[in-house]
C-alpha cells in the first residue's frame, strides 16, 4: 500500500514507522504527514498522543476515532513548511500549511489549514491549527481534472 501522505513511498517505509513503530518525526512536516496517515488508516490513539499536552485535554480518542471512521481521506497537499532551528526546537513554534481532501457522507470537502507545532518531551507535537478554508467541493466529471490540483483525471485521482 502506498503511504496515504503522498510521499510516494510505501506505508511500511513511511508513516507506519511513526504510527506503529515508535519512530519520532524529525520535522513538523513529517509529524503532520503521519497524523494525516493516521486519520486515513484510523489510528486514533496516535493522533491523540501527538497532540501537545495542553491540547490533549480537549480531545477524546473516541471522537477522533469516530471522525476517522466516517471520513474517507483522499489526498494531502503540503503547501509550505516554515523553517525551524534544530538547536532551539523548544522555543520555536513552526507551522505547516496544507490542504486535505476528504469525503464525508458522499460529499467532497477541502480543508486548508495552517498548523502550529511545538517540541515537547523530545517529540514534535501538534499544537493547534487555524482553518483558512473549509469548503464543500463539486465533484468534477470522471474525465475532468481532479479538484486537488494533481492534473490527473478525477477518476484516476481522488475519484478513484
What is the closest distance, in whole angstroms, from the C-beta atom of residue 53 to Zn ion in the complex?
25
Nearer to Zn ion, 3 or 96 (CB): 3
What backbone torsions phi and psi does residue 105 show, to the nearest 5 degrees?
A: 45, 50
Which of 14, 40, 47, 68 is close enough to bind Zn ion by CB under 5 A? 14
Q: For residue 31, state whether it binds Zn ion (rule: CB under 5 A).
A: no
What is the closest distance, in whole angstroms, from the C-beta atom of residue 105 to Zn ion in the complex?
19
What backbone torsions phi and psi does residue 138 show, to the nearest 5 degrees?
A: -85, 125
Which of 92, 120, 150, 155 is close enough to bind Zn ion by CB under 5 A? 150
Which of 1, 2, 7, 17 is close enough to bind Zn ion by CB under 5 A? 7
Nearer to Zn ion, 33 or 125 (CB): 33
**SS3 per residue for the chain:** CECCCCCCCEHHHCHHHHHCCCCCCCCHHHHHHHHHHHHHCCCHHHHHHCECHHHHCCCCHHHHHHHHHHEEEEEEEEEEECCCCHHHHHHCCCEEEEEEEEEECCEEEEEEEEEEEEEECCEEEEEEEEEEEEEEECCCCCCCECCCCCCCEHHHCCCC
* Adjacent-strand bridge partners of 131: 113
Which of 31, 38, 96, 158 is close enough to bind Zn ion by CB under 5 A? 158
What is the closest distance, in whole angstroms, from the C-beta atom of residue 61 to Zn ion in the complex?
22
Q: For residue 5, state whether it binds Zn ion (rule: CB under 5 A).
A: yes
Nearer to Zn ion, 48 or 108 (CB): 108
Stretch that binds Zn ion, among 14-22, 65-73, 116-124, 131-139 (CB under 5 A): 14-22
- Residues 132, 135, 138, 144: what is their CA dihedral angle, to the nearest 10 degrees? 20
What is the closest distance, in whole angstroms, from the C-beta atom of residue 120 to Zn ion in the complex?
22
Chain residues in the site for Zn ion (CB under 5 A): 3, 5, 7, 14-15, 33, 37, 146, 148, 150, 157-158
Amino acid at each position: 500500500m502506498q503511504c496515504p501522505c503522498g510521499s510516494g513511498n510505501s506505508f511500511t517505509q513511511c508513516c507506519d514507522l511513526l504510527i506503529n513503530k515508535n519512530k519520532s518525526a524529525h520535522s513538523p512536516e513529517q509529524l503532520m504527514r503521519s497524523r494525516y496517515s493516521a486519520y486515513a488508516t484510523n489510528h486514533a490513539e496516535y493522533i491523540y498522543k501527538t497532540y501537545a499536552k495542553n491540547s490533549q485535554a480537549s480531545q477524546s480518542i473516541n471522537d477522533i476515532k469516530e471522525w476517522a471512521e466516517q471520513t474517507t481521506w483522499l489526498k494531502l497537499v503540503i503547501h509550505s513548511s516554515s523553517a525551524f532551528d534544530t538547536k532551539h526546537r523548544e522555543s520555536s513554534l513552526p507551522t505547516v500549511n496544507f490542504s486535505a481532501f476528504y469525503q464525508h457522507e458522499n460529499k467532497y470537502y477541502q480543508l486548508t489549514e495552517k498548523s502550529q507545532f511545538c517540541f515537547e518531551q523530545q517529540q514534535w507535537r501538534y499544537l493547534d491549527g487555524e482553518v483558512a478554508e473549509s469548503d464543500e467541493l463539486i465533484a468534477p466529471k470522471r474525465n475532468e481534472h481532479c479538484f486537488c490540483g494533481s492534473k490527473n483525471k478525477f477518476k484516476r485521482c481522488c475519484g478513484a
